[in-house]
């Protein structure tokens, strides 16, 4: 049985845990070979080993800080050398440094913008020439409903995620003629280790704002990524898909 992403190569950043790990697994099960990118070598190796157990030879691990431009370009060249091509780029790497703006340090601002927004620029910049040469590519940037709605205590995070939306829409216009699509997924409240530390009161308050009355799972985001990366989304570009149980409507 031919899988929809067979013979394709996908880079997934922030793939060492949570949503990124789920995305990497889902794309691998769809037939793609995965470059597992994580800041932690331990996590990237663990996920790549798991994918290779599920789909033999489907993954390789790469550990780096996506905010480091020279490192990203070096690793992107290594990935092209290892796999021979890049078809799909999922910019998922992200961090939070939540606090009210009046208490936020410049370092907290810079760290979040550098990872969440500059990191996406770095990997896109490093891989775009290969996609343009092949006249094919799928770029999927993971934003957040915080970038659409805003969220108190997350001015840095919301700014980075809103920036991803503007970045994606502009890039989509630049490269559409090369058969490269650029789309955004904006997750709502997804159950991961990043959200599990929130108090029960906060989680209860958030739940009341979700029309579907439940939290999302990493697999919900992974399925949306697989759709946008696949053949049925070939005529979709510059769009923002909120996967949030109706929270932002």
**Could you give the residue numbers annotated as active site?**
157
CA distance 125 to 187: 24
Parallel, antiparallel, or unpaired: how do β-strands 9-13 and 33-38 relate? parallel
Strand partners, 88: 10, 138
């Amino acid at each position: 049985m031919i899988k929809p992403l067979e013979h394709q190569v996908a880079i997934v950043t922030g793939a060492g845990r949570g949503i990124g790990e789920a995305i990497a697994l889902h794309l691998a099960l769809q037939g793609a070979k995965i470059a597992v990118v994580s800041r932690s070598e331990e996590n990237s190796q663990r996920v790549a080993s798991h994918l290779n157990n599920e789909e033999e030879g489907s993954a390789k691990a790469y550990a780096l800080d996506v905010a480091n431009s020279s490192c990203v370009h070096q690793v992107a060249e290594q990935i092209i050398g290892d796999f021979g091509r890049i078809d799909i780029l999922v910019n998922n790497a992200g961090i939070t440094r939540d606090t009210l703006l009046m208490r936020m340090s410049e370092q907290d601002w810079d760290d979040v913008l550098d990872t969440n927004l500059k990191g996406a620029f770095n990997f896109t910049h490093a891989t775009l020439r290969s996609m343009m040469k092949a006249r094919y590519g799928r770029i999927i940037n993971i934003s957040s409903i915080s970038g659409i709605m805003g969220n108190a205590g997350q001015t840095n995070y919301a700014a980075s995620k809103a920036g991803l939306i503007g970045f994606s829409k502009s890039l989509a216009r630049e490269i559409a003629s090369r058969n490269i699509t650029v789309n955004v997924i904006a997750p709502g409240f997804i159950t991961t280790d990043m959200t599990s530390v929130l108090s029960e009161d906060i989680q209860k308050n958030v739940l009341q704002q979700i029309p579907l009355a439940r939290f999302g799972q990493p697999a919900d985001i992974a399925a949306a990524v697989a759709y946008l990366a696949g053949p049925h989304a070939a005529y979709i570009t510059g769009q923002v898909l909120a996967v949030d149980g109706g929270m932002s409507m």
